[in-house]
Structure 1
Amino acid sequence: MAGSFKERVLLTGGSGFIASHVLDTLLAHGFSVVVTARSPEKGQAIVGSLDESLRADVAFAVVEDVAQDGAFDHVFQSELSFDYVIHTASPYSFKVEDPVRDFLDPAIKGTTGILKSIKAHGPSVKRVVITSSSAAILNPLKHEKVYDESKWAPFTWDDAIANPQFGYPSSKVSSHAPARQVGLSQPRRTPGTEPPVTGTQKLAEQAAWAFVADEKPSFDLATICNTYTFGPVQRQLPALDAVNTSNQRIRDLALGRMRGGLEPTAPVFTWADVRDVALAHVRAATRPAAGGKRFYVVGGYFSNKRLADVIRAGHPELAGRLPPGGAGDDFPRGVYGFDNRRSREVLGIEYRPLEDSVMDTVASLLEWQSRH
């Protein structure tokens, strides 16, 4: 936690779903935060979405393309110094024609690029936390019996080139009171059609660890490998079709888009609440024992049937929008196990139950609807 003075954090990808909750958690813990956004308008929207009492502790910096060489240099060359960096931003492309050009190079350069900028211009930075993914851990072609931080997805650079479904841009939802500026959606996927794993997350995370090992910067590194992430939508959500991929299935259930039948749950059956994921990022930055570690952030199992049952029990007025209660559950027998002890013991994460996360997500969706 911050002390008597406010330690400063650079939070990249500030308009994203996870980043919006990381921002809330940082402010609740007394930090000063600079968020990055792709334009002044997006930066102002992030700051403007906050309670007025919090805005003095938040500024923004424009980084139009995180994959460009030196994209973050001006942020670290500004008059501000940073204690921690939490890097959630990921480059994306709406049209993938060349796997190397369109997602492999951008994902890896976007990760190593900020590390290079910190090493060259950010001597005050003590630790960098990078948002990776459970996709960097899982092997959907032959699942382990139990996954933990020691596991790596098997896909290589060549696999990602030969099979573009193994590499896709991370989904980051953009947002919409003037705010201080420092320095100068992805298309919706239908639940169940997401690629099961991506080479990009694994390769980008490994590039970060290799950078630290080879360059030996003054900062250390931690990575967060979170699974499907449910939870309240961000304040600046521009449209319900811009909901993050994981929450789309809850949205579709609550809005009646699965009334005719449940979509397949596959390929992912594990989940975590975004507020737990956000807290994991903040504690990974500030807890001494977290340095040099990966964290597999996963709270439990789910299926679309279980999501529907939770919504039906908590919101009986929505029953007419849901599939019939007797619908079968496609949760597989013998699904892989997970070991989240490191996140619980080192970061002190106490994972929320599925019921709480789903109910809070539905409440946020209904509240958004009432305002629009």
Structure 2
Amino acid sequence: MRVLLTGGSGFIAAHVLEILLEHGHSVVTTVRSQEKARLVAENHKSYGKDKLDFAIVEDIAQENAFDEAVKSDPPFEAVIHTASPFHFNVTDVQKQLLDPAIIGTTGILKSVKKSAPTVKRVVITSSFASIINPFKGTWPEHTYSEADWNPISAEQAVQNPANGYRASKTFAERAAWDFLEQEKPNFTIATMCPPLVLGPIVHYLNSLDALNTSNQRIRDIMQGKAKDEIPETGTYIWVDVRDLALCHVLAIEKEEAANKRFFITAGYFSNKQIAESIGRHYSQYKEQLPTSSTPGGDFPKDGLYKIDNERVQKVLGIKFRSFDESIKDTVKSLQAVGA
């Protein structure tokens, strides 16, 4: 299949790219600069231009940003859209989080409908942020599934960056489903809703200072920043980036994934368990790591929401990696960039 992958140098997209190429697909990936394209190409030297090529999209929040990128010869049959901002050092929530996420998502759908009539499937990276109800706390009596939507309002969205991020994911995903309903395009969509994404970084795109937000906690624990007190876990569910990437690819390969939302989680974890897992596999960090009596980083005392991840297992046939394997491999990948 010929596939357009957006945001190709991102943490998740780099793994999606590996799997697309392994599965024999031909890929064009969007990147923000020629330099990023060079880095990715250099690390996939065995693939010619027919299998891996690039399109430069500098700013996904611009109207019509993807108009040229969606045109291809041979034409595209599928699009995997992973590009979206995720960071909290924000001064203007509307401009820096909401607009790029929403305009980026609807923008690519409009461009595909207008200029890539051969595309039959679009897969969009959304988030557990669009499922969770942030106003309910740990909500032990509730089971989260694809049926849940974050009820955040436009007014609440601009109150702070955390709200802004969750709202950006929620509004962008809703906009995609609305587009499907109103525009009735030739293509189906599938949305991927992962919680915290852990797992090995792709070394050629990352430095220790520029990690994806989720993996920063592993780096910090390795570096001794949790020795006296383990930070609160915050989101108590996770998935390995390689499993999530495989879900993106399976969603374009399997007919049954069409027009479905997928809540992609392997289960529960706590920051305390990260520290324990590092200690089990890497004795050299013993001095920096918290001990069993270090306060913080545990599960909430009053219980936690339940999760239903049956759809992703049934429809995509995914078998999730274990938490221990994920942490072990992540630490190894961080060592490779100097941790």
Q: Which TM bucket (shorter chain)?
A: over 0.9
Question: Out of 145, 160, 165, which is 2:162 matched to?
Answer: 165
Equivalences for residues 71-110 of structure 1 within 5 A: 71-91=65-85, 96-110=90-104
**What is residue 204 of structure 1 aligned with on the other side?**
172
Give the share of equivalent positions with the same residue, in percent.
Answer: 49
Aligned residues: 333
Q: CA contact under 8 A between 2:64 and 2:107: conserved in structure 1?
A: yes
2:5 is the alignment partner of 1:36: no
Choose from 256, 259, 267 the match for 1:292. 259
CA distance in 2, matches of 1:361, 1:284: 25
Segment of structure 1 superposing worse, 8-17 or 154-163:
154-163
> In the TM superposition, what is the alpha-carbon distance from 1:55 to its structure 2 partner?
4.7
* Alpha-carbon distance between aligned partners in 1 of 2:60 and 2:3, rounded to the nearest angstrom: 17
Structure 2, unaligned stretches of length 5 or more?
A: none
Distance (Å, rounded) in 2 between the aligned partners of 1:19 and 1:340: 22
Give secondary structure in 2 for the equivalent of 1:284: helix
Say whether the 8 Å CA contact 1:156–1:203 is kept in structure 2: no
1:327 corresponds to = 294
Aligned to 2:318: 349
| Kept after mapping to 1: 8 A contact 2:39/2:205 | no
Give the alignment partner of residue 21 of structure 1, picking from 8, 15, 18: 15
1:140 aligned to 2:107? no
Residue pair 1:48, 1:55 contacting (<8 A) in 2 also = no
| Cα contact 2:30–2:69 (8 A) shared by 1 | no
1:150 partner letter: A
1:60 to 54, 66, 71: 54
Equivalent residue in structure 2 for 1:234, among 196, 202, 227? 202
Unaligned runs of 5+ in 1: 1-6, 169-197
The structure-2 alpha-carbon separation of the partners of 1:125 and 1:302, relative to structure 1 and needing over 3 Å to count, comes to same
* Cα distance in structure 2, aligned partners of 1:277 and 1:64: 25
1:304 aligns with 2:271: yes
Provide the TM-score with structure 1 as the length reference. 0.85
CA distance in 1, matches of 2:318, 2:103: 31
RMSD: 1.8
Deviations 1:142-185 (A, max 9, x none): 136110000001102222134453113xxxxxxxxxxxxxxxxx
Shift in CA distance, 95/336, structure 1 to aligned 2, threshold 3 Å: closer
Post-superposition offset of 1:53 = 1.5
Alpha-carbon spacing, 1:96–1:358, altered in 2? closer, same or farther (3 Å): closer
CA distance in 1 between partners of 2:87 and 2:317 (Å)? 36
